[in-house]
Amino acid sequence: MRKTIKKHRKEIISAVVTGTIALGGGAYISNKIEPSAVYAMASATNRETDIVIRVGEYLGKPGKRIYCDNINWNRIPKDLPIRQDEDGRHYIAEFDINNKIATRLHARLEEKGANVKIIRSSSKATDLNAAGRASNKFNPYVYFSVHTNYFDRADASGYFMMHNAGDKEAQIVAQRLSDSIKNNSMIKQAETVAQNGYIGELNVIHDSTTGVLFEGGFYSGTEGNGDLYHIVSDEYSDYIADKLSDELIKIVNEKKYN
């Protein structure tokens, strides 16, 4: 916590200068609060954005699509675009799946009173690291990147959260978020993953933001009752939007008043 306080000292000072924080006015300071606690709360009041959600990938990103003649199209909801490439082959883009989940999560968070920004990349130029840098302009408490996974086996299955190795706070947050949706009856929970080599978009985020990357399941899971059919469903996206929004709000509130 002390480390975080140090980092925010500059913004606290500017907040005091601009008069948004009434130091000594009694509203934020009681005799029982140590000075460090006042700093933490002051910096918290200075942020306009609670959470940034990033829609993973951009439309048309090479390789981020599932071509499959064996897809059961009856199980793909109407709101999910079925796209066609130059050769007339049909596919579903990872971007569209991520966008459905992220858009519902965004809506739930706003309904529950959070200030949320959503980042959708339009091309390679605004992908990955650029999305992380865009998030820094909002200085949110949490950066949550929504992805779905691909593996060269139709039976690959499971959702998980990722964080940068060595980021203890992100590890705890990732685990809490993962646990918050583990009782869904559609996609099983896999182990939370620490990434040693750093995850591009999480690597550029300021220390004042906790970054987590969500892999909601395998869109390559087309076999039988595979992940794909759950990931695209209203049931799954509504369930995780509801549970994740509750947990994200708890996490942000703790960061604000800790």
What residue ranges bind Zn ion (CB under 5 A)? 56-57, 147
Instruction: Give dist(CA 93, CA 91) in Å, integer.
Output: 6
Q: What is the DSSP letter of 189?
A: B
Structure tokens at 254: 């703790």
Q: Which is nearer to Zn ion, 39 or 219 (CB)?
A: 219
Instruction: Give dist(CA 249, CA 112) in Å, integer.
Output: 8
Q: Which is nearer to Zn ion, 231 or 252 (CB)?
A: 231
Place of tokens 């820094």: 136
Q: How far is the CB of 215 from Zn ion (least distance, A)?
A: 7
Q: Which is nearer to Zn ion, 41 or 52 (CB)?
A: 52
Q: Which is nearer to Zn ion, 39 or 159 (CB)?
A: 159
Q: How far is the CB of 183 from Zn ion (least distance, A)?
A: 25
Residue least distant from Zn ion (Cβ): 147
Q: Which is nearer to Zn ion, 40 or 131 (CB)?
A: 131
Q: How far is the CB of 149 from Zn ion (least distance, A)?
A: 7
Q: How far is the CB of 65 from Zn ion (least distance, A)?
A: 11
Q: How far is the CB of 170 from Zn ion (least distance, A)?
A: 18
